[in-house]
Amino acid sequence: MKRLMSGNEAIARGAFEAGVTVGAGYPGTPSTEILENLVKYKPDVYCEWSPNEKVAFEVAAGAALSGARSIVTMKHVGLNVAADPLMTLSYISVEGGFVACVADDPGMHSSQNEQDTRNYARFAKVPIFEPSDSQEAKDFLILAMQVSEQFKTPAILRTTTRVSHSRSLVEIGERASPGKSVGFTKNPSRFVPIPIWGRPMRVRIEERLKSLQKLSESSPVNRIQWRDRNLGIISSSIAYQYAREVWPDASFLKLGMSYPFPDALIREFASGVSSLLVVEELDDFIEEHVKALGISCRGRDVVSGIMELSVDRLRSSKAMLEGRDAAEPKPSPFSEGLPPRPPVLCPGCPHRGVFYALGKEKVVVTGDIGCYSLGAFPPLNRMDSILCMGAGISMAHGMEKAGEPQKVVGVVGDSTFFHSGITGLLDIAYNHGHSTIIVLDNRTTAMTGHQDHPGTGRTLMGEATLAIKIEDIGRACGISRVNAINPYNLEETRQVISQEIATNEPSLIVSRAPCPLRERKKVGEVRKILAEECKGCELCLGLGCPAIENNEGGPRINETLCAGCGLCQQVCPAEAIVCGVRA
């Protein structure tokens, strides 16, 4: 039976069919739906959202050491957080199969950078698999699991946004038995990498790489397709699909297992074609190796490594390769001068009140990763830096210690706080900092589609659990000034923020209101603007609320969009904004 599945659904299906019993991860676009789909196979599979990727990785690693088959899921930058356990799990090896499913985001659709996960495979000396559609996503997860278990190595399954979020047809199979029974067997020389045992492990992983290379050279997922021999193309992942469309007649070496590199296959292919081209997204990972083998090829000189590829961009590459003008397609004249439509904080978003209040303060705001990144846009303009998860807190402390003359406020979300904000807060208390830290607690991991976290009182398995309080953690970290505010009350929000910025002690403010998008209900009564009372000062527009339109004839509230948060009513000096759309 065939079903239409996204790449992420197919990976989850593959994990189910492969006999996986433990799945852990942290949400991150474009990887989130893998675990959301895997949990549908409970109770056959235990799934959890861990506080961060490092923890998730270690949870899955522990399961694998006990002999269970496990996966861990994350986006590309999540693997930076989990890099520490990755590098040494490669040494201590696994007993049950272990696959890290990592989704890259070429084009930065929903990410702060464009790093290429394939580099981690070489770095950690582990095999990596790159599906190019949903069927391969399922098949390669199963293959990666087999390879992991056979060679006792962690494996990486790398997708990209277009593989994870494209849907295509998948043949459904049966679930395999979960394999060996779970039970840890003590073996310190294998699992304890203190130097006396770690050094032999270092040698063993090089031997393992050689065996894996033989597999890479013989595996059907690395295959030559002979067509016209004038041009041969080496490609992997979604780039392969684009390239097949642009060069339908060329010969291809399609890499499904791209590391360790299949040297013998690359040599055979190169010697069978007149000219060689490497088509890959992001880094010149394959091309560099082909050149290191002493084989000349084209690649980065005609195929850009910046932003995602497409059929259009490869058509330009083809023109350049053939010595023709690579005319970029001209934008349509009909789209000139259209108003841009960037993503914005939703109507009724509880973050808006805090950013509006921060706009009244002369401070530096070190921000973080989440919906509230949108607070950086006009008209709020109230986020001055974003680095990575948790950095909103630690960078505030660093600026302060450097002698930054302005006061610094760190802003972080609830899920992000649990992810990697706690250690930063601990640092502020420990090292005599006095930054003001605001946790924007909307009771969910909103940007990725409303996943639970340690503060929500629910697990991914759907069970009730204890809801960890951010205030309690703050106090336990040694912060004595802890305030909770309602961000829909603008006066209270402004007053508490001003007061806490002014103190010379570390301070934690928890701004708490649930995300209305998750609650699926209005915050309060829909508001309207009384045109006869409106003085046209446009202060309400400073909130950047998508429900307040200002086309012709002054501001008006779109009643379908309005979430009834009432912030506009609080900023209107003319009292022209009132409750109730109709009597």
Partner 1 sequence: MSETRSAKADAYENEAETETKSIVLVGVGGQGILLASEILAQAAMLEGYDVKTNEVHGMAQRGGSVMAQIRYGKDVKSPLVARNGAHILGSLEKVEALRFSDYIRPEGLAVVSTQAIMPVTVSTNAASYPTDADAEDRLRRAFPRLVYIDATRIAADLGDIRAANIVILGAISNDLDLPPAAWEKAISLSVKEKFLEANRRAFAAGRDYR
Q: Which stretch binds partner 1 (CB under 8 A): 293-301, 327-335, 426-434, 518-526?
A: 327-335
With beta carbons less than 8 A apart as the criterion, state whether 396 and 408 touch: yes
Q: Are 118 and 90 in contact (CB under 8 A)?
A: no
Q: Would you say 133 or 287 has its CB closer to partner 1? A: 133
**Interacting residues of 235 by C-beta distance below 8 A, sequence separation 6+:** 243, 252, 253, 254, 255, 278, 279, 280
Question: How many residues contact partner 1, by CB under 8 A?
Answer: 65
Q: Which of 98, 104, 103 is nearest to 144 (CA)?
A: 98
Contact window for partner 1 (CB under 8 A) among 26-34, 76-84, 396-404, 568-576? 26-34
291 lies in the binding site for partner 1 (CB under 8 A): no
Kindly tell me which of 127 and 555 has the beta carbon lying closer to partner 1. 555
Applying CB under 8 A, which of residues 195, 378, 403, 553 lies at the interface with partner 1?
378
The reply on whether position 371 binds partner 1 by CB under 8 A is yes
Q: Does 229 bind partner 1 (CB under 8 A)?
A: no
**Does 381 contact partner 1 by CB under 8 A?**
no
Question: Would you call the peptide bond into 30 cis, given omega within 30 degrees of 0 as the criterion?
Answer: yes
Q: Is 332 in the site for partner 1 (CB under 8 A)?
A: yes
Question: Is residue 143 part of the contact set for partner 1 (CB under 8 A)?
Answer: no
Nearer to partner 1, 504 or 551 (CB): 551
| Separation of CA 341 from chain center | 23
Among 215, 295, 376, 541, binds partner 1 (CB under 8 A): 541
- Four-CA torsion 397, 403, 409, 415, nearest 10 degrees: -20
Cβ closest to partner 1, residue 235 vs residue 511: 235
Distance CA 573, CA 577 (A): 9
Instruction: Provide the 10 A C-beta neighbour count for residue 220.
Output: 8
* Window 249-278: residues binding partner 1 (CB under 8 A): 249
Kindly indicate which of the ranges 37-45, 141-149, 194-202, 340-348 contains the residues binding partner 1, using the contact rule CB under 8 A: 340-348
Please identify, using beta-carbon distances, which residue of 328 and 491 lies nearer to partner 1. 328
According to the 3-state scheme, what is the secondary structure of 522-579?
A: CCCCCEEECCCCCCCCCHHHHHCCCCEECCCCCCEECCCCCCCCCHHHHHCCCCCEEE
Q: How far apart (Å, rounded) are the C-alpha atoms in residues 174 and 172?
A: 7
Which of residues 192 and 311 has its CB atom nearest to partner 1 in the complex?
311
Task: Name the token pair of 240.
Answer: 């392969």
* Residue 25 sits in the site that holds partner 1 (CB under 8 A): no
| Contacting partner 1 within 382-441 (CB under 8 A) | none
Chain-centroid distance of CA 174 in Å reads 30
Q: Give 22 or 534: the residue with its C-beta nearer to partner 1.
A: 534
Q: How far is the CB of 430 from partner 1 (least distance, A)?
A: 34
Do residues 140 and 157 make contact, with C-beta atoms less than 8 angstroms apart?
A: yes
Of 233, 256, 236, the residue nearest 317 (C-alpha): 233
Q: Which of 181, 296, 335, 504 binds partner 1 (CB under 8 A)?
A: 335
* CA 251 – CA 271 distance, rounded (Å): 12
Residues binding partner 1 (CB under 8 A): 2, 4, 29-30, 32, 109-110, 133, 162, 165-169, 220, 223-227, 238, 241-242, 244-245, 248-249, 310-312, 315, 329-332, 334-335, 338-346, 371, 373-374, 378-379, 447-449, 541, 544-546, 548-551, 555, 558, 560
